[in-house]
Structure formats: structure tokens, C-alpha cells
Amino acid sequence: MKKKLLTIVIACLLAVMAVFSACSPSTEKPGSGGSDDEFGLATTIDPNRTTLFVSNFNGGFGERWLKAAIKRFEELHKNDVYEEGKTGVQVWIDNSKTGGKDTLANIENSRDAVFFTEYVYASDYADSGKVLDLSSIVNPVLSEYGESRSIKGKMTKEQQDYFIQDNGACYVLPHYQSFRGIVYDVDLFEDENYLFYFSANANNGNDGFVMSKNETRSKGPDGTGGTYDDGLPATYDEFFRLCEYMLEKGVKPVIWSGSNQAYFTDFLAALALDHEGLSDAMLNFTFKGTAYNLVSSVGANGELSFMNDGAEGSGVAITPNNGYLLAKQAGKYYSLQFAERLLKKEYIASGSMGTLSHTDAQKNYINSYPSGGEAIGMLIEGSFWENECSDMGYFDAAVKSYGQEWSRADRRFAMMPYPKATAGQVGEKVTLTDSLMSGAFIRGNVEGYEKELALDFLQFLYTDESLREFTQYTGSPKAMNYDIDGVEGISNFARSVFDMKNRADIVYPYSSEPIYADQPASFEPTSFYSTVVNKGAGDVPYTYPSRAIYDQGVTGLEYFNGLSVAMSKSSWDNAYGKYFINN
């Protein structure tokens, strides 16, 4: 062997290794300019204070909310002694991009005590024995913060069922909340040249659209005049009339991320579950209850007949034994009809069925109106989009190009309440679906002062003040019941989401039933749309309605019928037979 070459290689290797082992990277964040921190937090670890290390999934929600809370927490405890010889506390953020089971795999060796991350299947965490029981902070009323509720009291019944074990233990707390929906540009909609609102007078000579800002608008999806959704499309039919009207006015109706069709599919699932309502929607995760909207047949004119247990309107009892029937939920049918109507080339902006990334879709959307070119009316996204877009610097870039009035603070976006599939449903409560499995938890092997501090900090983050501050900084709600009255600095969009959340029933797509808890990924809302369609060339599987309908010419009805082929009784029995209830 060429000894010289081998010698050179080994020598280089050892030299580089020695250099990089001896030199340590800087503790100062590159580009941070020294000790500047927006919230005045220390940029190095203070040996005179007790340090609590916290891991934060630094995605669309960022870390500013956490820093703001840390500032208040450190101030609150500046004179407290957790650790002998040290006064005060310092909370140190370790940002991370690992979630779910990757975090759990190595948690015992982490220096972080408190974790905030996504794709947390609470049952896995509970079973792992690696996370701390939080019941000591979840159950007591937060009276030391002047509140009259406990953390448990701020959770919905569905959340309590899922996160709190039968023995009262709680290992994971719900973290932030995100909904998929239709974002619309309020400024564009109210522009005198457009006025994309329905009139209360359907025969006003302008095809039912308002002709002036002062004209009385239609009641909207909630069926009540004088509310936040006046003038917005109440039904699918109105929504598509709006799309046509937009085209006439030279506005492209919709844009979404083409590179990830799961976004659009998630939206369809949310639409489907909105149609079903909370209790029928939850059947998809609990497999326990009665389903009232199972389609037995679709007539020639699209009229639906429904299954029942004997008497009309009696519904069908759902158990793990017959969960496959949920493929026939009418909400899924209607959402696919919506998709079929929407997926026309003229309605959707370029790249929505291509490789447009979600951030590029956001960028194109916010810039379409000020650019003077073809504006885009609506964006299908998650409720964290505005924060993410801001973090990418796109609002700042828009200000640079078009002026200060196009800043995030000056623009008004809002979440459009879902239109209803049929006129008969107008007035029904909105049902939103939480689309991220985010959770907060504490490492199981914390002890002594670290344990006490971790619990105190986590509890602090669930006080009303911290919950409101979270929304202020992220524009998104925490997955808890609270209000944002009197909180300043919240964008129009964030407020619209919060208002909608408070008016809505929320579907948390998880349950403690073993059939769900053992394989949560199999029952994610996106999985509703696994189908098989045979258009004469054999069975073809599809996962994304958008691709099947737009690319392959599959109709909404064909796609819907295929759902029960993919989730047939025999395949259901084979996959989930061990969860069956024996009568």
C-alpha cells in the first residue's frame, strides 16, 4: 500500500481532530452582535443563578413567546433560592428540530428538563416511563397567580379524556393549536374595486355581491346578521360564485403549497369534520358513539340517503368492530365535492399543483395585491402562517418594495369560517380541527431543585397571562380555554382565529381508546382520504384528492366510493380485529 498516502491521510486526520477537540465553538450566537437580546435576557449562562434548560421546537411558532415568558418568570423569581448558594433563576432555551419519538428516544440524557415539541403521541409518552407526572401542577387551582381555574379546568373534556390517565396522572400538556383553513385578505376584499362580499339583497343587480362598502351584507355562515362573518360565503355554492366573481374582476381565487399536498388534504379533512360536527367527527378517533351521517347511497342529483339502525334518523352505533363504516361519512363526500369544484386550472394560482413551497405560497400571496399584478384572493394554510411568513422576512421585504402600509402590523388578513355544504347547515356552529400534535412535558428523571423549578416554570406557562402572551407573539392560540380581551399587538388575523376558536367546537384528533392509541398515525385526518379508484385500467390507490382529481380526472364521487373499498370490512377486520368488542 502506498505508505506515504496513508501516512498523509492519518496525519491530517489526527491534526484536524486535535485542533477541533481543543478549540470550542463560541457560546455567542453568530450575527447576534454581542449581548443584544430583544428581551434583555442573558446570552451566557449565569453561574450565580439556578439554570433551567428548556427545549423548544423552533418551527413556525418561533421562540419569542418563550423568551417573553422567561423574562417575566425570571423577574418573578429573582430573589428565590432553588439551589443552595444561588439566588434567582435563569431559563435557557435549547432550540431543536426533533419531535415526537426522536425526542423521547434520548430524553434521559438530555440536559433539558422541560420540552415543547410536535408529533407527541401522549399515550406513548405515558407508557414510556420517561416523562414526569404533571398532576401536581395540573390539578390545583392557580390561586397563587390570582386565578380561579386549574390547568385541568382550562382543558376541554376531550383533552382531559386524552391527556389525563384513568389514575389521574398527566404526562403531557397540550401546547399550541393550529387549524387549517381559508385565509382571506380583508383589505383586498374591502377594496372599492372589488368588494368581495355577498349582499343581504340577492337581487341587487350585481349578482348578489355588494356594490358599496355600506351596503348591508348577507348573514354569512353563522346565519346571523351583524356578526364577524357577514358577507362571507355561507355555502359551497356561494364560495364558488365568489371564485367566479373574483375571476371576472381579474383576481386569482386561491393559492396553496404545491410541494406538500398534505396541506390541502388536511384542509379537506377539516372541512369534512366541520360538516360532521364535534360528536360525529370524534368517532374517527374514539370509535365509540353514534354516527348520523353515514351515506348509504348518492342519487343522480347528488342527494344523499343515510344509514340507520332501524328508524330514520337513528344513526348507526359505531364501535371498533365497524369503524370502517366511517369511510361513508357525508362530510367526506361533501369535502371531495368541494375539491372537485375547486380544482380547476382557472381557480388556482401557479405552483399550487406544482412544487411551490408553503413559504413561497405565503410570499406570493401577500405580495400579489401590492404588486399591481394579478392579486390572489385566498390562501389555504395553517393558522401559524402569518408568524412563519413574518419570520421569513417576507413582510419586511414587502415594505421595502411597496411601502410601510404593507407591513404585517398594517395589513388585515382573517380566517374565513368554513362555508357549509348545504343551505340547511347555515347557522350551525363551526367545528375546527387541531392539526398539530404539539405537547409540553418534563423529563422523567428530574430530581431535587431541577424538578421543582421545571414544574414551577411549566405551570407558569399555563397561567392566563402566559397564554395571552403566547397568542400576542405567535398570532396563534394555545390549546387551552382563555380569552385575549384587552391584549394589544395582536394582528387582525390572530384575532380572527381566536374569535373563531372561541365560537367553535374543537376537534382534538386523538383519543385514549386502544385502537387509536396504538397506531395514531393510521388515524390522522389526512389518512381519511386513502382511496382506490378503478377507471377501467385496474385499481389505482390515491392518497391526495388534489392529485387524483386534478391530474387523473377522478371525480369526487369516484374518490368517495373508493374510500370504502380501501377501508373495506375485510381489511378492517384483519387490521383491527384484536380491538373488537365481543358482545
Partner 1 sequence: MTLSTRVKTLLHSKSERKRLLFYALVIALPLAQVAIFYFGVNINSILLAFKEYEGGSYHWVGFDNFKRVLTEIFTDSTAEWRFAFKNTFVAWIVCTGIGMTLALFFSYYIFKKGIGKNFFRVMLFMPSIISSIVMVILFTYFVDSFIPEFLMRYFDTEIRGLLSDPRTTMFMIYLYNILMGFGTNVLLLSSAMSSVSDSTVEAAQLDGANNLRLFWHVVLPQIFPTFVTIFIVSVANLFANQLNLYSFYGAYAEARLGTVGYLLYKRTVSAANAQYPELATIGLLLTIVIIPLTLGLRKFLEKVGPSDE
Partner 2 sequence: MNREHKIKNGSKKGFSPLMAALFVLLIVYALLILFPLAWGLGQSLMDGMRLDSTVVPWPSDWQFSNYIDAFVHFYVPVQAEQGTVYPTLVYMFGYSFVYAVGSALTATFVQCIVAYLTSRFNYIVSRIINVFVLIAIALPIVGSLPSEIQMAQALGLYDTLFGIWIMKGHFISIYYLVFYARFKTFSRSYEEAAQIDGAGNLRILFSIMLPLIKNLFWTIFLIQFIAFWNDYYTPLVYMPTYPTVAYGLWYYNQSTENALTLPMKVTGCILMLLPVLVLFAVFSKRLMSNLTMGGEKE
Residues at the site binding partner 1, with contacts judged by CB under 8 A = 101, 121, 123-124, 127, 258, 260-262, 351, 353-355, 514, 517-522, 530, 532, 539-544, 547, 551-552, 565-568, 570-571, 574-575, 578
When CB distances are held under 5 to 8 angstroms depending on the partner's kind, the choice from partner 1, partner 2, none that residue 394 binds is: partner 2
Binding partner of 106, given partner 1, partner 2, none, CB within 5-8 angstroms per partner class: partner 2
Task: Please say whether the beta carbons of 355 and 166 come within 8 A.
Answer: no
Q: Which amino acid is at 569?
A: K
Q: Which residues pair with 317 in a beta bridge?
A: 290
Q: Which residue has the cell 388515524?
A: 523
Query: Residue 551 binds which entry of partner 2, partner 1, none, with Cβ cut-offs from 5 to 8 Å by kind?
Result: partner 1
Q: CA 506, CA 180: separation in Å to the nearest integer? A: 12
Judged by beta carbon, residue 398 or residue 563, the one nearer partner 2 is 398
The distance of closest approach from Cβ of residue 178 to partner 2 in the complex, given in angstroms and rounded to an integer, is: 15
The CB-of-15 to partner 2 minimum distance in angstroms stands at 10
One character per residue 111-150, x = contact with partner 2 (rule: CB under 8 A): xx--------------------------------------
Torsion of the alpha carbons at 218, 221, 224 and 230, rounded to the nearest 10: -40
Rule CB under 8 A: say whether 385 interacts with partner 2: no
| Whole-angstrom distance, CA of residue 358 vs CA of residue 381 | 8
Give the list of residues 6+ apart from residue 260 with CB closer than 8 angstroms, or none. 357, 358
Look at residue 552 and give the partner it binds from partner 2, partner 1, none, a contact being a CB closer than 5 to 8 Å depending on partner kind: partner 1
In angstroms, give the least distance from the CB of 107 to partner 1: 15
Residue burial 560-583, b: 16+ Cβ < 10 Å; e: rest: bbbbbebbeeeebeeebeebeeee
- Using CB under 8 A as the binding criterion, the count of chain residues that bind partner 2 stands at 53
Selection from partner 1, partner 2, none that 571 binds (CB < 5 to 8 A by kind) is partner 1
3-state helix, strand, coil in the chain (%, to 5): 40, 15, 45
Q: Contact region for partner 2 (CB under 8 A) — 165-173, 356-364, 461-469, 539-547? A: 356-364
Length of the chain: 583
Residues contacting residue 510 through CB under 8 Å, at least 6 positions apart: 121, 122, 162, 285, 437, 516, 520
Site for partner 2 in 35-94 (CB under 8 A): 44-45, 53, 58-60, 62-63, 92, 94
- Identify residues 392-411 at the interface with partner 2 (CB under 8 A): 392-394, 397-398, 400-401
Per the listing, cell 401522549 goes with 122
Residue 12 binds which one of partner 1, partner 2, none, with CB within 5 to 8 A depending on kind? partner 2
Q: Among partner 2, partner 1, none, what does residue 60 contact (CB within 5–8 Å per kind)?
A: partner 2
**Residue 409's binding partner, choosing from partner 1, partner 2, none, with beta-carbon cut-off 5 to 8 A by kind?**
none
Separation between Cα atoms, residue 277 and residue 425, nearest integer Å: 11
Among partner 2, partner 1, none, residue 518 binds (CB under 5-8 Å by kind)? partner 1
Angle of CA points 83, 89, 90, to nearest 5°: 125
Our CA angle for 185, 191, 192, nearest 5°, is: 160
Dihedral, CA atoms, 376, 380, 381, 382, nearest 10 degrees? 130
Contact flag: residue 388 with partner 2 (CB under 8 A): yes
Interface with partner 2 by CB under 8 A: which residues? 1-2, 5, 9-10, 12-13, 16-17, 19-21, 24-31, 44-45, 53, 58-60, 62-63, 92, 94-95, 97, 105-106, 109-112, 357, 359-360, 363, 367, 371, 388, 391-394, 397-398, 400-401
